[in-house]
Amino acid sequence: MNELVFLKGDDAFTDSLVIANLTNNQHHAITQIIRKHKERLERFGNLQFSHLKCQNPNGGRPSKIYLLNEPQATLLITFLQNTDEVADFKAELVRQFYEMRKFIAERQTAEWVETRKQGKLTRKAETDVIQELVGYAKEQGSEHADMLYITYSKLANAMCGVKGRDTATVLQLNNLNIFENLILQMIRSGIEADMNYKDIYKECKNRCLQAKQIAMIGG
């Protein structure tokens, strides 16, 4: 199932659009329920919101997307008709809030802080090597060499299943450190061997996939 819960500051939230989409309800129907029970929901914190751009080509007011913390979301879903689809959603929402609470607690530990610190050092070393690769690729005629920073970041993140370092677990950060070290070593070797910059990326990706496969087998 999709990611239902996200981190905002030091707290976990879902939103009215997620709830609408995953329970097969119209968004305006969910926001109506929120407004109806606003006082009850605000017993658990102020209701925050952002705006959903109006899709009507003739214009109109944008719709509010309400942000809901765990107790607010838990209360809100009790007001929904309990179809199989809604029941499955409720179960998954509870699970994801639980996992996010565990992560928030982990992020406060000294181990997470130190692992994140070491990751920043590795990322700095990798960025320095990619900067060298950018100039190398431009010499080979690349017109989009500056995109290599994003390209290699996406590769490392994909190998570890992360979207961002500040929302990664200790295990994911450790894995990210391994893959980024592997990538920077492969880039250095590729430049020294006068490889084409595109082939360097292909080699990096292949080596990363091999390393991931070995780790999965070993686990």
Please report which confidence band the pLDDT of residue 215 belongs to, taking 50, 70 and 90 as the band edges: low
SS3 63: strand
Q: Euclidean distance between the first and final Cα of the chain, in Å?
A: 24
Token pair 């939103």 is found at 15
> In the predicted model, what is the mean pLDDT of residues 142-146?
95
Arithmetic mean of pLDDT over the chain: 91
Please report which confidence band the pLDDT of residue 213 belongs to, taking 50, 70 and 90 as the band edges: confident
Counting beta carbons within 10 angstroms of the beta carbon of residue 107, is it exposed (0 to 12), middle (13 to 18) or buried (19 or more)? middle
Q: What is the pTM assigned to this prediction?
A: 0.74
Please report which confidence band the pLDDT of residue 52 belongs to, taking 50, 70 and 90 as the band edges: low
Is the pLDDT at 70 greater than 60? The verdict is: yes
